[in-house]
Structure 1
Amino acid sequence: MSELRLHTSHLRIPLQHQIDAATEIYMVVAFAQVSGVQELTASLKQAVNRGAQVRILIGDYLYLTNPDALEMLMNIQGVELRLYRSKGQSFHPKAYLFRTQDGGTFFVGSSNLSHSALNRGVEWNVEIPASISEDVFEQSVDAFHELFYSDYAQIMNIVSLQPYREEYEAKQQRIKEAELIAEPPPVYIEDDTITPNTVQDAALKALRETMDEGRRKAMLVLATGLGKTYLSAFFARQFKRVLFIAHQKEILLQAEASYKKVSSEWKTGLLLGGDSRDEKSADVLFASIQTLASKHRMQQFTPDQFDLIVVDEFHHSAAPSYRRVLDYFEPKFLLGLTATPDRLDGGDVYALCDDNVAYQMHFTEAIEESYLTPFHYVGIYDEIDYSQIRLINGRRYDQDELLAEQLKESVAQKIFDAWRMHHQTRALGFCSSVTQAEYLADYFRLQGVQAVALHSQTEYDRTDVMCQLKQGHLDIIFAVNLFNEGVDIPEIDTLLFCRPTESLTVFTQQIGRGLRLLRGKTHCTIIDLIGNYKNIDKKLALLTTKRQPIVKALPRKIDLPSRCTIEFDLHAIDLLKRMVTHSSTRRQQLERNYFMVKEEFGRRPSYLELIQRGEYSIDAYRSEWKKDGGYYGFLNRVGELDDEESHLFEEAKSLLLEVEYTDMTKSYKMIVLSIMLSRGVAGWLQPISASEAARPFYEFINEFPYRQQIDGQTKDFQSPFHQQKIEKLLLRMPFDKIAKGPFFVSEESLHIEHNEAFAHPLVYEWVSQIVEVRLHHYFSRKASE
């Protein structure tokens, strides 16, 4: 008779019995170790040899899965293996399902694929014969396949395994050498009292102003080394209960130490898996996003539990785990801290703080203000043709194809010659893979240079290697994913970029490794291989003081911070002139970016969604789209509108163009249009009189203090509301100014000319999206100014 069984140890034995009899085998576990895979390898090989279907799904949560374990499973011919890319969210299933000729059995419990979990570890697993409930068994099989074929589940092969292996090894390295991740406190200390420095004072003032404006969210953009954590601690003193969120244990512990230095009266707590303490009673709780994102842990707190939430490294906050937490909590104020909020790596980071950047000092400005050392940038032509290398998901170059080009001797010679000609004393080289780092270190050593490759697989003591570089016993370290965040060696005066720039965030972080001030250090030399890879226009824009999203011409010395220089070799100049100044290249980039965002949503994004999720600023999009007829003209050109929509666009083009491109020295035009649109699709085209629009117009401006301060400083908006004053303002300003194209004014009312297409629900939706984007952009831009 079939019955339930509880297994508290030695799960391996019944699993092997089931594998030996099954025709279908489905396993899903949170993580796998080599020791666990070894336990079942022989049985799984026999199963696939006799024709059994074997599908295994393993999670990457917290990088507990050993890539060697994945490779062992990949080497079993016939096993279908996928890795669940959790992106920081909790992933804890442990289930083993087996279908046989006459039924089936499944196990659900606590055992992952490790020797301990399958043998003598304290585990609870329930064995459930399918005959007890055929429905539940089939539901389990369906649930497995829903996960197995989800967008998060990545097919494992020799190519797709390599990025995970590098991530895993970088994580292990960070854990082993956490003590190196330390940032000296950039604060004033007088009589044992810590006080804000000049930059922090300015940022605190900006935060007070943004709160006075009625805003509840803000982001601070401060270059590495300017003291973001201390700044948040100074700001936190006015709040009763504070939550500080980060993604690494080391960052949380350092932040806790910094907060205690600012105020010894705070009771601090930690929410970090098994290391948690005082999480319920702390005044300031330092929480790991991985732990906090768990629904169970998050709901231990009420949504309004914290008055202030601080999110460190805010550029990570577009991840699902952060979004879940930020959607749940309702603090009085949300503060995001980052040095690199670049839209290339997730424009919706701006949306999470309502596009309110309260204060910013990028590394170029910090150089200008002498907080960081100047740079001398040298662009060297890279002979690799990146246009022939496949882009995965439009963002990352295929690592195998890239490596095949990087390991050519001519490429290594080019890199060595550039270093030999331009380096100073101590250099850090950034590579895209372990293989490239080892190859270049070997090549440099053959030329008589003291070089070391440092990555998660090296046996060198990292502390010792860094000390050797500091002391001048090493000339260069070639690194892979180890020097992006946190680690700073002020003695480094040369940076060598041996890889294409795929992420502006990473590029900015890596530049920061060489900009620390040090007595006797005059500048940092940046030697960069310039190829025809994507994002070159945005990368060069980062070096300038203009803060443009892209450059349209080669940067010059006058475009840079003071005491900085920039130069390119002749081949690089020819390449850059073609890439940076060729408008069709920008058009192709914008098109590619649109389809990347569309793929992310699984549908055509709205106008605002594209602006918030895309790589470029709204100004970059709008300037390129104008020749198409705006956003919807762009959609029409790239085939995103069907035949009916395309015809409708042509019929309504005059209206759409006027709304999207009419000048906006103030917000008044778009406010009037939003009032008209608020009537709904059936009534929005009716004329609107100044008397009808007056009160909603006045209330829109005065709804939030920041709107009132930006566009409501005249006596017209003083309290109480004065109908005639606002009517006169409407007739004088937005009505008269908007009376172009399909708009006209008659009898103190604003009219839209009759056109059947304008009345179509789709046109109503399109106009609504344009007005929403323009208001959003206008107030965001004015607030930042």
Structure 2
Amino acid sequence: MSDLRLHTSNLGIPLQEHIDAATEIYMVVAFAQVSGVKELSASLRKASERGAQIRILVGDYLYLTDPDALDMLFQIPNVELRLYRSKGRSFHPKAYLFRTIESGTFFVGSSNLSHSALNHGVEWNVEIPSNVSEEVFEESVAAFHELFYSEYAQMMNPVSLQPYREEYEARKDRMKEWEVAEHSPVYIEDDSITPTSVQDAALLALRETMAEGRKKAMLVLATGLGKTYLSAFFARQFKHVLFVAHQRELLLQAEKSFLNVANDWKTGLLLGGESRNQDTADVVFASIQTLASKQRMEQYDPEQFDLIIVDEFHHSAAPSYRRVLDYFQPKFLLGLTATPDRLDGGDVYALCDDNVAFQMHFTEAIEESFLTPFHYVGIYDEIDYSQIRLINGRRYDQEELLAEQLKESVAEKIFKAWSEHHQSRALGFCSSVIQAEYLADYFRRQGVQAVALHSQAEYDRTEVIAQLKQGQLDIIFAVNLFNEGVDIPEIDTLLFCRPTESLTVFTQQIGRGLRLSKGKTHCTIIDLIGNYKNIDKKLALLTTSRQDTVSSLPTTIDLPSSCTIEFDLQTVDLLKKMVTRSSTRQQLLEQNYFMVKEEMGRRPSYMELIQRGEYSIDAYRSEWKKLGGFFGFLHKLGELSEEEAILYSDVKSLLVEVEYTSMTKSYKMIVLSIMLKRGEENWYKPLKASEAALPFYDYIKKEPYRQQIDGKTKDFQQPFHQQRIEKLLLRMPFDKIAKGPFYVEDETLHIEFNESFRNLTVYEWVKQIVDVRLHYYFSRKAKG
């Protein structure tokens, strides 16, 4: 019997292999893009020429299907193509079925027909040979044809395609109206603004996450996809709304966007001396600096707002945001960000219960044509960053850095790179006011129209931006002003004159150049690359693989469609040394641990390290397993006291079993959490199935998302039944956890007694592990 196979990338390769051999080819996908059809069109054409039967069903849901992709498909001879007219209801199947004379195979998973989904996108697809189950294979073929010939499936040809193309273009025109509105201070007085397809998908995800009983969520959307408008559409279902941001410009722009969506809203502003109508408004736009003052905040009832929206949510780990989020108790909290990178510290994910309801990275947005492609040029930076002191392991000492940046040779290198590669309107990013002024002066001496714009500049910011748009300026050198909130779609060149210390800032700054604009074909990114930290993580951001780091130099094939990447020879030599440096993952995790410890001023807990560190929980757990888990890692680092080290050696087998026992469901950890709730003096004592039944049932039923994930069986669909749940406990978690120090006897779960279990420290250690495992189990399952 052939084996099942899981494909997490490059699905296009096995699909093409099966197309080349099949006599029958059936495909059903939620949407199709030109980039995806191009991947398979040659193979499909050859299959058609040899007489294979080809039937393809594509959905129209949210108008994500490009009519040009449909046009390309029915240009292939003998392809039967139908469009599933969903009429607004969800349509999400992704399946590819192939039959040969001898056998069959089908793929079911997450990949639609797009270049990203068939190559480097984060996708899961299972390949199932028919001999695994002939019955299921035939059921899948029958299910396909039931959809293919349903009343909703419209046969596609040049005539029937035209109405869909008109609908698609109308939606695109509405997107353009929205783009104009986003950059215009003029209110739109009708109800013509509607969500874009991306916003529709995000709104659907928010509705689903609320239906699951979630109270908090984060949306991660690339700059340019309309986070503020999206939040306004979402806010229509709430009575009292609080919108929080940290810049005046963000608040005023947000207010305009909300009024463009619904001009019947009463809006108010809480912004120092500019405050107005904040006590009578439906929607209050509040500066975090003003709101976070104790006196001002406590003028509001903690439950006054039904919805709180936090813009640029990656700032929310700061103390001022924490005070506000701890005080208010809204029905729902929505965080908006383009990039919540773990590298920049702060438990941002924890503030939304690790619930990322929807995300679209800028590389994916480029792939789907929502943002413009980039042409990245890496230029060698002669500054030796290894000689510059790092503060707290994260930031370069500004005085030492500036001493290097103000050298004539450095300015000359930057100017040469800009001269060779720039297009028409450029934005240069600097790390300090002095550097920005120095470079602007150097460029002006070379005959270039350049201005330094920063918080201390005497220029009128609006006037300077207008001059750049009109072509009267060649380049603006900026310090922090253009990371957030200010959009100039006409910018077609970005010049990075500073090391990448923050991936969040780097991602935001790239976003400044990716907005679509008339006549703009791409954005040129000129980046000075030195031997600074995080270069492997920075380059990974440009690729479609969505990996944390790169281990080799990325090439154009690793990027979104129509994007390019190139490096000068010195940079190639430097990067080859840096991305293959000798530091092991274990060494990096150790450095990361001490960085988090220094930041917190104490030894972090298991949860704190996972949430504040730079790496995913999987990276930590895979490296720690050979050390005996998290506490084995602490032991190796010498972070346990002498007493703790003795305890760890005594209870290691228990800790390792709890931390690394497999979890196909949450049941084992729920049982352990029930034991722990009995307190430090009783947690390790035997637990009867009869004692655990009700709290086990209640834990699953308490939150709709838990029931949705692990409570779909009949045991949880009916009122609590003692005997039924007892049988479930004995059949599943009790039986499955009975390894190592655990065993079951007389319908009771036991732990082989160890005198050390009486120690409060051991209780706390086990609790830390169980809390982390439950938290991340449900977070991951909720994301699908």
Give the TM-score taking structure 2 as reference length. Answer: 0.72
Q: Structure 1: 5+ residue runs without aligned partners?
A: 1-180
Partner Cα separation in structure 1 for residue 581 and residue 691 of structure 2:
49
Give the match for residue 622 of structure 2. Answer: 623
Letter in 2 for 1:503: S
1:459 to partner: Cα distance: 4.8
1:206 to partner: Cα distance: 1.3
1:500 to partner: Cα distance: 0.8
Partner Cα separation in structure 2 for residue 668 and residue 564 of structure 1:
46
Distance 1:567 1:744, change over 3 A: farther
1:663 to partner: Cα distance: 2.4
Alignment of 1:147-546 (within 5 A): 183-184=182-183, 192-445=191-444, 447=446, 449-546=448-545
Q: Is 1:634 aligned to 2:633, yes or no?
A: yes
Question: What is the number of residues matched between the two proteins?
Answer: 605
- 8 Å CA contact 2:187–2:256 kept in 1: the answer is no
Partner Cα separation in structure 2 for residue 268 and residue 428 of structure 1:
34
Give the match for residue 9 of structure 2. Answer: none
Distance 1:275 1:487, change over 3 A: closer
- 8 Å CA contact 2:181–2:188 kept in 1: the answer is no
Letter in 1 for 2:523: C
1:758 to partner: Cα distance: 4.1
Partner Cα separation in structure 1 for residue 578 and residue 648 of structure 2:
32
Distance 1:182 1:576, change over 3 A: farther
Distance 1:662 1:548, change over 3 A: farther
String of CA shifts for 1:115-159, please: whole Å, max 9, x gaps.
Answer: xxxxxxxxxxxxxxxxxxxxxxxxxxxxxxxxxxxxxxxxxxxxx
Partner Cα separation in structure 1 for residue 278 and residue 237 of structure 2:
20
Partner Cα separation in structure 2 for residue 420 and residue 735 of structure 1:
69
Alignment of 1:512-661 (within 5 A): 512-582=511-581, 584=583, 586-661=585-660
String of CA shifts for 1:704-750, please: whole Å, max 9, x gaps.
Answer: 00011111112222111233433343333333333333333444443
Give the match for residue 164 of structure 2. Answer: none
String of CA shifts for 1:477-520, please: whole Å, max 9, x gaps.
Answer: 32222221122222222212111111122111110111011222
- 8 Å CA contact 2:224–2:514 kept in 1: the answer is no
Secondary structure of 2:359's aligned partner: strand
Partner Cα separation in structure 2 for residue 702 and residue 188 of structure 1:
46
String of CA shifts for 1:149-193, please: whole Å, max 9, x gaps.
Answer: xxxxxxxxxxxxxxxxxxxxxxxxxxxxxxxx9943799989653
Distance 1:592 1:564, change over 3 A: same
Partner Cα separation in structure 2 for residue 185 and residue 655 of structure 1:
62
Distance 1:267 1:443, change over 3 A: closer
1:650 to partner: Cα distance: 2.3
Partner Cα separation in structure 2 for residue 560 and residue 517 of structure 1:
18
Letter in 2 for 1:214: G
- 8 Å CA contact 1:188–1:197 kept in 2: the answer is no
Secondary structure of 2:477's aligned partner: strand
Secondary structure of 1:702's aligned partner: helix
- 8 Å CA contact 1:187–1:196 kept in 2: the answer is no
Letter in 1 for 2:306: D
Letter in 2 for 1:772: D
Give the match for residue 96 of structure 2. Answer: none
Partner Cα separation in structure 2 for residue 670 and residue 554 of structure 1:
42
- 8 Å CA contact 2:742–2:752 kept in 1: the answer is yes
- 8 Å CA contact 1:185–1:227 kept in 2: the answer is no
- 8 Å CA contact 1:187–1:227 kept in 2: the answer is no
Give the match for residue 144 of structure 1. Answer: none
Distance 1:653 1:560, change over 3 A: farther
1:398 to partner: Cα distance: 0.7
Letter in 1 for 2:782: A
Letter in 2 for 1:696: P
Secondary structure of 1:225's aligned partner: coil
- 8 Å CA contact 1:407–1:436 kept in 2: the answer is yes
Secondary structure of 1:193's aligned partner: coil
1:321 to partner: Cα distance: 1.7
Distance 1:758 1:496, change over 3 A: same
1:349 to partner: Cα distance: 1.6
Secondary structure of 1:194's aligned partner: coil
Letter in 1 for 2:199: Q
Secondary structure of 2:685's aligned partner: coil
CA RMSD of aligned residues (A): 2.7
Secondary structure of 2:583's aligned partner: helix
1:449 to partner: Cα distance: 4.4
**Percent of paired sites with the same residue:** 81
String of CA shifts for 1:241-289, please: whole Å, max 9, x gaps.
Answer: 2222222233222222222222232222222223322222222222222
String of CA shifts for 1:608-662, please: whole Å, max 9, x gaps.
Answer: 1222233333223323333332221222222211111122222222222222222
- 8 Å CA contact 2:267–2:281 kept in 1: the answer is yes
Secondary structure of 1:720's aligned partner: coil
Give the match for residue 717 of structure 1. Answer: 716
- 8 Å CA contact 1:187–1:194 kept in 2: the answer is no
Secondary structure of 2:183's aligned partner: coil
Alignment of 1:757-772 (within 5 A): 757-772=756-771
Letter in 1 for 2:224: G
Letter in 2 for 1:194: I
Partner Cα separation in structure 2 for residue 274 and residue 530 of structure 1:
44
Q: Structure 2: 5+ residue runs without aligned partners?
A: 1-179
Q: Is 1:729 aligned to 2:738, yes or no?
A: no
Secondary structure of 2:528's aligned partner: strand
- 8 Å CA contact 2:381–2:528 kept in 1: the answer is yes
Secondary structure of 2:333's aligned partner: strand
- 8 Å CA contact 2:671–2:692 kept in 1: the answer is yes
Partner Cα separation in structure 2 for residue 188 and residue 365 of structure 1:
31
Partner Cα separation in structure 1 for residue 577 and residue 753 of structure 2:
47
**Mean Cα deviation higher: 313-322 or 745-754:** 745-754
- 8 Å CA contact 2:191–2:262 kept in 1: the answer is no
Secondary structure of 1:310's aligned partner: strand
